[in-house]
Amino acid sequence: MATYHATIDWTLRDGDDFAGGAYSRSHTLTFDHGVTIEGTASPHIVPEPWSDPKAVDPEEAFVSALSSCHMLWFLHLAQRAGFSLASYRDEAEGLMARNADGKLAMTKVELKPYIVFKGNQPSAEEVEALHHRAHADCFIANSVTTEVVITPQAALSDA
């Protein structure tokens, strides 16, 4: 088994009013190997100036984690099946809504991969099977109750 780490740092800024709720939600997220990104609360939930629309919010990170995990499995499975890819782009989208318990939750994530294959072209059925297997193998998808839908946008050749 493996263990993964993230360090989240937040500090009250001069002039912020924590007790009054007027404080920045900006923070940093630092990962295992030292990569640091700017984090924030979602501007859909906490308005500016207390959030930063240029930083990554937890909901965006959740959607990107599902998308990235799916892509990495898809690349691995496609390579093992004898297919080559020139590119893979996913414009994934998450839906925040009330769940069955009435709580706000990421209830659905739609992955919309646009893939360009090189050389040996898979059939539509082979692409569908690769996506199905990638979803079944994705550690992140296996860790959540969110509905994850894969809607391939295209499987084109660069030939």
Residues 45 and 69 occupy one common structural domain = no
pLDDT in tens, 56-70: 999 999 999 999 999
Residues 133 and 78 occupy one common structural domain = yes
How high is the pLDDT of residue 155?
Answer: 62
Residues 9 and 39 occupy one common structural domain = yes
Domain count, the chain: 2
Residue 11 in 3-state DSSP?
coil
How high is the pLDDT of residue 29?
Answer: 96
Residues 7 and 70 occupy one common structural domain = no
Answer whether the bond into residue 122 is a cis peptide, omega within 30°: no
pLDDT in tens, 1-30: 888 899 999 999 999 999 999 999 999 999
Write down the H helix ranges in 4-159: 58-80, 124-137
What average pLDDT does range 133-138 have in this prediction? 97
Residue 68 in 3-state DSSP?
helix
Residue pair 159/128 in contact by the 8 Å Cβ criterion: no
pLDDT for 117 beyond 80: yes
Residues 48 and 81 occupy one common structural domain = no
pLDDT in tens, 37-50: 999 999 999 999 99
Residue pair 153/131 in contact by the 8 Å Cβ criterion: no
pTM comes to 0.90
Range of the domain at 49: 1-56
Residues 68 and 25 occupy one common structural domain = no
Residues 11 and 84 occupy one common structural domain = no
Distances (CA, A) of 25 to 7, 132, 148: 15, 38, 28
